[in-house]
Structure 1
């Protein structure tokens, strides 16, 4: 369990960063 929690946190943060980069790219394409 001690290894699963940090892995989940990294996965969630990675998904958040990916969505942020996708949003920035979408805004650049619109402009």
Structure 2
């Protein structure tokens, strides 16, 4: 459980990067159409 609290920052950061990359791909696809 302590390790989970330690990795929460890394998990949140990776999740944030995943959302940004998904939005970028979605915007590029919508512009392509």
The alignment's TM-score, normalised by the length of structure 2, stands at 0.71
| Structure 1: gaps of 5 or more residues | 26-31
| Structure 2: gaps of 5 or more residues | 1-8
The alignment's TM-score, normalised by the length of structure 1, stands at 0.75
Consecutive aligned runs of 4 or more in structure 1 exceeding 2 Å deviation: none
Q: State how many pairs are aligned.
A: 25
2:15 maps to which residue? Answer: 7
Q: CA RMSD in A?
A: 0.4
